[in-house]
């Protein structure tokens, strides 16, 4: 069966510090991978998605970046955090579907607080 891991689970960082969040998927190969952010009381905002190693698409211009160094590893980074980067970060994966829709499976999330 497939599983998705995210770490750390919680993180408190000062403004201006760097960030690295990691997501790994087990039990599947060549998945589509996604990073979402969920602010308090708001829906999930898609930040990045990837259809393969080294292939990253950005949805929202900001001080965050993403990388996919391995097939089942997705990393979210920042060189200097802002207060507005606080939120709940969710990684998701989906398989290769024949049609337009395929289910996205979410990880447990990382709660980031920037002080």
Partner 1 sequence: QKEVEQDPGPLSVPEGAIVSLNCTYSNSAFQYFMWYRQYSRKGPELLMYTYSSGNKEDGRFTAQVDKSSKYISLFIRDSQPSDSATYLCAMSQDTGRRALTFGSGTRLQVQP
The contact set with partner 1 (CB under 8 A) reads 32, 34, 36, 41-46, 49, 51, 57, 59, 88, 90, 92, 94, 97, 100-109, 111
Q: Which is nearer to partner 1, 15 or 60 (CB)?
A: 60
2 vs 17, which CB is nearer to partner 1? 2
Minimum gap (Å) between residue 21 Cβ and partner 1: 14
H helix runs in the chain, sequence order: none
Minimum distance from CB of 16 to partner 1 (Å)? 27
Q: What are phi and psi of 85, to 5 degrees?
A: -80, -10
Cβ closest to partner 1, residue 12 vs residue 15: 12
Q: What is the CA radius of gyration of the chain?
A: 14
35: left (phi over 0), alpha (psi -120 to 50) or beta: beta
Of 80 and 87, nearer to partner 1 (C-beta) is 87
Cα(24)–Cα(36) distance, integer angstroms: 15
CB of 78 to partner 1, least distance (A): 21
CB of 29 to partner 1, least distance (A): 17
> Rounded to whole angstroms, how far apart are CA atoms 45 and 38?
6
For residues 53 and 63, give the distance between their C-alpha atoms in angstroms, rounded to a whole number. Answer: 21
């Amino acid at each position: 069966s497939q599983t998705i891991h995210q770490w750390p689970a919680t993180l408190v960082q000062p403004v201006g510090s760097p960030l690295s969040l990691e997501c790994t998927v087990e039990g599947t190969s060549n998945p589509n991978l996604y990073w979402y952010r969920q602010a308090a009381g708001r829906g999930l905002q898609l930040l990045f998605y990837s259809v393969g190693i080294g292939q990253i698409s950005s949805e929202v211009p900001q001080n965050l970046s993403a990388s996919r160094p391995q097939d089942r590893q997705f990393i979210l980074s920042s060189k200097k955090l802002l207060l507005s980067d606080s939120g709940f970060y969710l990684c998701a994966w989906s398989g290769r579907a024949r049609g337009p829709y395929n289910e996205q499976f979410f990880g447990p999330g990382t709660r980031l607080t920037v002080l």
